[in-house]
Structure 1
């Protein structure tokens, strides 16, 4: 028997002609799990195996997306050469011709229409180096004010709320390692079990240790299953629910008076407003029973430590900033911030959602989380870049507002990098129509996405296996993504593409980098002294420590694990509380006879964002090959919707067709559709154009719709 086994293993060993290993990070969610891809050449085929690697955040865990990420990187549809649209068809051209074409088109547009006629649309999935360089490229190489990115549709409400309340925005004020030991947790609008599966063990450990978990969500999900209490809030009523919790906490005298007096402003305004409200009215508005509101408030306030986590469910609303601020009011009122085992966490969605918003992709921002309108900030960055302060453009507009500028004819050209706005933006039909009005659109991507189809020129980018650089995960931990696999065909790194375009535009002196680390070292200097200070972080330091939490102001500094222990980041050192109205000044869409149901959107575990990458993975696509409508059986019967049948979902803006899925886990006045699909299943066709006035987030989570059988 032993001889037979030895013979078997010798035969298998001989079959493996070669083996290569690639250390990298998952390209998907904000956990940024470390992993290794093993490539084995076996006779005439290749076999791939992905294993997790130990790291401070995910501790070697992987989810189904990470295990199969390589499938899209090796997909046959990947773009490997520049493609120019000729008579409606894409044809292969050389890089030299592609770059000259960009020079001709960009120069002509700016000569005729002005510098601001060009725009840049970025991504929260690219590295810190590339996000930084994209902001510099827009302002130095193109001299345009119009740059924004897809993170505007993801994290902007939480980021703005944290900045307004605390004076600084880092995803988590604490580290994940504190979560298992806190006493009470509120999970507001976050389905981490499907969106960030490798984070779940922290919360499961907390529950094992006796933590009380409160989930706020219109649906029962894999996340709400671990909760001790589920507040099944009506879509869009999160701010009002927070007012109910605050009312109980204040009236039951469960506040931390000393903390409020010493470290906050605005409490009196909050107290006067919430005590004037009726708990009965708040219960009617939110759909949450009074007793649940009371129990949740008393439990959270009474425990010695506690944390609140938010995600897209509460943030992707036209009052998302205020809703998050109201949840932060609860933290401040109870003194559960800036202390061990107590704090706030914004569960970042995209892989580099944190880092990508810190270093200059946002319309109003310069590196280090500096403001483009602040004269001191402008002077500092101008000096780092070697340009005049007065030559830096002023702030532009948000992601969706860019398309309004295109529609109005103010923007006539665009550089689109690694994003798919036709699927991800609200009122998707309008976005598509706007893109058709551009004189010139160049897209940098791995595939011909639904948006890239409208491009005049597509440039081939590198994947996560090939593109080295830093990423900042949901904790605010800066990690280094190693990437040693060669680029296929003529694909180039995003930063290389920007440098080559800058060169043909005559701006080579500002973009003379030879590797990603060169860019990072400039980023370190550009961020120095800013809110998001990376100056003390180096590639070598990240490798040695497995990641560094910012701020890290000097080389000897080890990073900051817990924020706001002594003071907040506002000039006076205090957190700013505000009274938040139950309903926003710009009213949300309400259900009516014609559109009698609330529509909310979200993710499924096997897909990511607009699905451009995950739908190219056979293993992931097989798990969810089409979109669906989750609907309560009672609601389905009312509208003659049979289970597992095609159904029309319509709003004032458009119509899609998806398959019905009966579920008693959702409110009877609400339906749910995931957002990973395009064309006739693109749920964002149904979402309105109204934006949060503070952060310009669209209201993805609340739309009024009608459903009917097909």
Structure 2
């Protein structure tokens, strides 16, 4: 996979700087889906984490780390780590023993379920956990609690990509190719991703393609650092991507830049797509999207005339009320031109969460069982029941998606276990989310820090940071990697999986949760995934160490994994053909009007991760970006009389936020941008629209109508 030639030498150099009494723990970063390799420096005697070095021997990052990766180790020793259980007494969270806390949790679960039924207690989980924990959370919900109501924060992140991939090619793996294939593309189309900031260690792959002469097309309403180095920047109006792609397809077909042999042999649906896109002329698309006719034509020709090409995208196209269909529209570009199934040709979504891929494969989604099986599939239910040793009837049916689950709190769902997630920052319309959480009869949170959400809980259970446990994650490519942990916890904190097993035991379900290590959980996950689309059955811890990760599907221990999908041009449908799906442009759920005349879009910055619960506590990161801001184009600012750094108030139909103005030419004149990593009065999600994509149930974070006021 192209290790740097000096990898062995460089690694020896890093090993040589270890101080006496220290050791290196070879692991992976806890943040984005790159899962970069790193060595954590640990004092042998005290197990104190004292530093980090990048691993030169891991192919994804080759001795590089981004600012978050270089600082990640610091969270292990932060003074505000949760080290003891907390129970709310007289309105305040106070320290307690594990015995008292777990007795209270179990008694409340039993009481709520006795009064209101099994489904009245729900779980809201996360994807910044290992595959072992994600698998166990799903099993614990269904077999420990017997509830159907479990979902996770990945619903806000990659669920549209999952649906789009499944409906277009029949399988959801974040990338059809290993990341090393990107270097062999002749054209790269990046949509809705500020790769340079949000996935900076992907940029060397993009530069590798550029060094070979590849052209770069970037679709983004902002002239990001990624767009600045593009050949064509399609500065699209937020929410209009489907119209843009239909316009590109119109030109690809009109100018005969499609692969008709591939289309005829390996796809269905072409005639419908051809008919629909006839109306999407460059002039019409320009009017809808705000992108010039010349740039639309240039982009279509750059992509269509290239032999090999990659389509890459992220939350910018996914977090919409039509996000699933937007993903499939972009996949159409690869299918129409036959750019798939070989080196330098494919499509991918940039995984935002550390285990955003694995976290959605093994059963913590509302409608899913391990191995990417549907919970409504009778054969899947029967197989998983046999693995778990239960009657198939004991496995509940599908539950509510994440935001639907939040909206049900206090009504249908009376009790909630929140694990590794912070919806008081990450959910849309967070003012309403606070009301939902406060309506609960009982709320327990499990976290390593007292997040904005955990502050509202009745019980808080302290868990561990990533370096304090061993397990696997699945990166942006679909490569399963092994994270090694140190044998310690902070204070009285416990590993999440151990806490779940203990609760299950106290509920009388302990016989189904007899694990002594993460490895034992993984071995059961392997069995549970066997025969599913996400088949891990041939992956072992030893194999992961030996091979620096294994790509799923891997159906046997002799199998070396599947780095590149669709090399045989067989897609995951009964007829083996991909689906070319046609979608009319309908626009965002919420339109601008006289009262709210501007578009608000949100996103990330390089220094923070998701809700900021981890990164805002690390001084080395927080000092670079301590608070949110709003990007405003100079012409818009002049028209409104707003000066740089002046405090302004953004107002939507749901809430308001006061932030400093950042006057910059990188944003469209009709659009504002605010990063979302802060909570309470600094949470931009007070304003965002909770309208859901009907297929993926992802909220429309990327478009809402706002006005701006001087304070």
Cα RMSD of the aligned pairs, angstroms, is: 1.7
Residue 65 (1) aligns with residue 68 (2): yes
**1:42 offset after TM fit, Å?**
13
Distance 1:479 1:40 in 2: 24
State the match for 1:702 in structure 2: 703
Which has the larger displacement, 338-347 or 514-523? Answer: 338-347
Distance 2:135 2:22 in 1: 36
In the alignment, is the contact (CA less than 8 A) between 1:37 and 1:48 conserved in 2?
yes
**1:659 offset after TM fit, Å?**
1.0
Distance 1:49 1:544 in 2: 22
Within a 5 Å distance, the mapping from 1:386-401 to structure 2 comes to: 386-401=389-404
State the match for 1:10 in structure 2: none
**1:143 offset after TM fit, Å?**
0.6
State the match for 1:367 in structure 2: 370
State the match for 1:56 in structure 2: 59
State the match for 2:108 in structure 1: 105
2:136 to 103, 125, 133: 133
In the alignment, is the contact (CA less than 8 A) between 1:204 and 1:226 conserved in 2?
no
* Partner SS for 1:223: helix
State the match for 2:79 in structure 1: 76
State the match for 2:6 in structure 1: none
**1:51 offset after TM fit, Å?**
3.5
Structure 1 residues 50 and 234, CA gap change in structure 2 (3 angstroms):
same
Distance 2:610 2:52 in 1: 24
Distance 2:562 2:50 in 1: 41
1:473 to 460, 472, 475: 475
In the alignment, is the contact (CA less than 8 A) between 1:607 and 1:615 conserved in 2?
yes
Residue 669 (1) aligns with residue 696 (2): no
**1:341 offset after TM fit, Å?**
1.4
State the match for 2:5 in structure 1: none
Structure 1 residues 485 and 614, CA gap change in structure 2 (3 angstroms):
farther
In the alignment, is the contact (CA less than 8 A) between 1:71 and 1:618 conserved in 2?
no
C-alpha deviations, 1:247-279, integer Å up to 9, x for none?
A: 000111111111111111111100000013333
**1:339 offset after TM fit, Å?**
2.4
State the match for 2:579 in structure 1: 576
**1:303 offset after TM fit, Å?**
0.9
Distance 2:300 2:265 in 1: 23
Q: Which runs of 5+ in 1 are unaligned?
A: 1-12
In the alignment, is the contact (CA less than 8 A) between 2:632 and 2:664 conserved in 1?
yes
State the match for 2:540 in structure 1: 538
State the match for 2:509 in structure 1: 507
**1:53 offset after TM fit, Å?**
4.3
State the match for 2:497 in structure 1: 495
Within a 5 Å distance, the mapping from 1:343-358 to structure 2 comes to: 343-358=346-361
Structure 1 residues 467 and 39, CA gap change in structure 2 (3 angstroms):
closer
Given the two structures, how large is their TM-score scaled by the length of structure 2? 0.96
Distance 1:423 1:381 in 2: 34
State the match for 1:449 in structure 2: 451
Residue 91 (1) aligns with residue 91 (2): no
* Partner SS for 2:326: helix
State the match for 2:4 in structure 1: none
Distance 1:18 1:562 in 2: 43
* Partner SS for 2:658: strand
* Partner SS for 2:689: coil
In the alignment, is the contact (CA less than 8 A) between 1:246 and 1:274 conserved in 2?
yes
State the match for 1:21 in structure 2: 24
Distance 1:583 1:464 in 2: 42
Distance 2:19 2:225 in 1: 40
Given the two structures, how large is their TM-score scaled by the length of structure 1? 0.96
In the alignment, is the contact (CA less than 8 A) between 1:248 and 1:294 conserved in 2?
yes
In the alignment, is the contact (CA less than 8 A) between 1:640 and 1:708 conserved in 2?
no
**1:642 offset after TM fit, Å?**
1.0
Distance 2:58 2:49 in 1: 28
Distance 2:218 2:280 in 1: 23
State the match for 2:182 in structure 1: 179
C-alpha deviations, 1:202-252, integer Å up to 9, x for none?
A: 001111110001000000111112211100000100111000000000111
* Partner SS for 1:601: strand
* Partner SS for 2:413: coil
Distance 1:618 1:599 in 2: 29
Distance 1:56 1:17 in 2: 29
1:195 to 178, 198, 215: 198
Within a 5 Å distance, the mapping from 1:213-232 to structure 2 comes to: 213-232=216-235
Residue 405 (1) aligns with residue 408 (2): yes
**1:405 offset after TM fit, Å?**
1.3
State the match for 2:211 in structure 1: 208
Residue 604 (1) aligns with residue 605 (2): yes
Residue 271 (1) aligns with residue 278 (2): no
**1:428 offset after TM fit, Å?**
0.6
C-alpha deviations, 1:413-467, integer Å up to 9, x for none?
A: 0111010001101111111100000011110001110000110000111101101
C-alpha deviations, 1:56-114, integer Å up to 9, x for none?
A: 22222211111111222211111011111111111111111111111100000000011
**1:698 offset after TM fit, Å?**
0.5
**1:48 offset after TM fit, Å?**
3.1
* Partner SS for 1:68: helix
* Partner SS for 1:471: strand
Structure 1 residues 46 and 158, CA gap change in structure 2 (3 angstroms):
closer
Q: Which runs of 5+ in 2 are unaligned?
A: 1-15
State the match for 2:7 in structure 1: none
**1:47 offset after TM fit, Å?**
5.0
In the alignment, is the contact (CA less than 8 A) between 2:49 and 2:73 conserved in 1?
no
In the alignment, is the contact (CA less than 8 A) between 2:49 and 2:76 conserved in 1?
no
2:171 to 164, 168, 171: 168
In the alignment, is the contact (CA less than 8 A) between 1:41 and 1:47 conserved in 2?
no
* Partner SS for 2:380: helix
Within a 5 Å distance, the mapping from 1:298-309 to structure 2 comes to: 298-309=301-312
In the alignment, is the contact (CA less than 8 A) between 1:367 and 1:523 conserved in 2?
yes
State the match for 1:639 in structure 2: 640
**1:38 offset after TM fit, Å?**
2.1
Distance 2:50 2:437 in 1: 41
Which has the larger displacement, 475-484 or 641-650? Answer: 641-650
Distance 1:239 1:537 in 2: 39
* Partner SS for 1:689: strand
**1:356 offset after TM fit, Å?**
0.2
State the match for 2:617 in structure 1: 616
Distance 1:486 1:53 in 2: 27
Distance 1:238 1:59 in 2: 34
State the match for 2:693 in structure 1: 692
Within a 5 Å distance, the mapping from 1:283-362 to structure 2 comes to: 283-362=286-365
